[in-house]
Amino acid sequence: MTPMRELAGKRALVIGGTGGIGRAIAVALAQDGAELYIHGGRSRERLAAALAAARSFGVQARGLLREIDGEVEPFLTFCPEPDLVVAAHGPFLRKPLIETTAEDWRWMTLINLAFPAALISAILPGMIARKYGRILLFGGTDTGTIRGFATTPAYSAAKTGLAVVARSVAKTAARSGVTCNIVCPGLVDTEYADAETRAYNRAKSPTGSPLTPETVAKTALHILQSPSLNGAIVQVDEGVDL
Ligand SMILES: NC(=O)c1ccc[n+]([C@@H]2O[C@H](COP(=O)([O-])OP(=O)(O)OC[C@H]3O[C@@H](n4cnc5c(N)ncnc54)[C@H](OP(=O)(O)O)[C@@H]3O)[C@@H](O)[C@H]2O)c1
């Protein structure tokens, strides 16, 4: 018997869906029957490969290649009425506070906070009107806690701001069938990780084998299918101590 595809016919917009965790989620969504709108940053090859992977599950998939500059309009034109939005792309910056420049702050807060937040503000009325919506965002270490960070203050501040956005969506739209949750991955070996990062991930991983994007995507899919998780900050990190 063919397993039921829970998300059959739903339109899923995946920002940063051509690589890393975003790509694994796009593929998991396609496997579950969703119609895919996959965004990627720079690589035409990665976009083509992600679209082919999605289509191999018999679903429709469209692609958009665009560097994020804060404008949300092109994404709304690309996918006017998404049922699911996964905002995966979130650049990392390791720089102590006193070395962090104004441009670093602008970049970190634009891509990790202001852009996904503005996109949510724009798509939320449609989701509320249609009485269905699933939004998934991404945090990092201790995203749900107000604390200081010696090496990643700009990245971590933006991610904690994003957690406030996730909870605000839940407060605004839970009665309309809209959920918004935030996954905080631990150490993930993506194709973007260099040899030094991979060695660090292996050394720090409590199991000795760092997470894969596919492992994170399994939890992400469960969250996206679930009507009962809302405003949650979910650590998918093997209990790593960073
Ligand atoms: N990886 C980890 O260990 C880890 C740990 C904690 C939290 N996280 C969080 O998890 C999320 C996913 O992380 P990730 O490491 O899998 O992937 P990522 O590097 O944040 O995103 C990769 C995706 O973003 C696209 N992209 C790259 N530069 C872009 C730009 N300037 N404008 C628009 N799109 C761009 C890539 O396309 P191209 O390849 O075509 O450029 C690809 O589709 C992020 O929010 C991250 O902060 C990751």
> Domain segments of the chain: what residues?
11-236
Q: How would residue 224 be classed by pLDDT, with cut points 50, 70 and 90? A: very high
Q: How would residue 242 be classed by pLDDT, with cut points 50, 70 and 90? A: confident
Q: What is the mean pLDDT of the chain?
A: 97
Region of residue 43 (left: phi > 0; alpha: psi -120 to 50; beta: else): beta
For the chain, helix (H) and strand (E) counts, in that order, are 8, 7
Q: What are the structure tokens assigned to 134, written together?
A: 């699933």
Q: Residue of the nearest CA to atom 29 in ligand 1?
A: 41
Which pLDDT score, from 0 to 100, does residue 24 have? 98
Q: What are the structure tokens assigned to 58, written together?
A: 């018999």
The C-alpha angle 135, 136, 140, rounded to 5 degrees, equals 150
Task: Please give the number of the atom of ligand 1 that sits closest to the Cα of 46.
Answer: 40
3.40.640.10, 3.90.1150.10, 3.40.50.720, 1.20.120.1810: CATH of 11-236? 3.40.50.720
User: Rounded to whole angstroms, what are the CA distances from 74 to 66, 79, 119, 188?
Assistant: 9, 9, 10, 30
Report the run of H or E that residue 85 belongs to, with start and end. strand 84-87
How confident is the model over 140-196, as pLDDT tens digits? 999 999 999 999 999 999 999 999 999 999 999 999 999 999 999 999 999 999 999
Which pLDDT score, from 0 to 100, does residue 4 have? 84
Which pLDDT score, from 0 to 100, does residue 52 have? 98
- For ligand 1, residues with CB inside 6 Å are 16-22, 40-43, 46, 67-68, 88-92, 138, 140, 185, 187-188, 190, 192
Task: Taking residues 30-54, report their average pLDDT.
Answer: 98
Task: Taking residues 75-99, report their average pLDDT.
Answer: 98
Cβ atoms of 127 and 81 closer than 8 Å: no
Which pLDDT score, from 0 to 100, does residue 2 have? 59
User: pTM score, two decimals?
Assistant: 0.98
DSSP secondary structure string, 147-190? ---SS-HHHHHHHHHHHHHHHHHHHHHGGGTEEEEEEEE-SB--
DSSP secondary structure string, 122-155? HHHHHHHHHT-EEEEEE--TTTTS----SS-HHH
How confident is the model over 96-142, as pLDDT tens digits? 999 999 999 999 999 999 999 999 999 999 999 999 999 999 999 99
For residue 2, how far is its CA from the centre of ligand 1 (angstroms)?
33
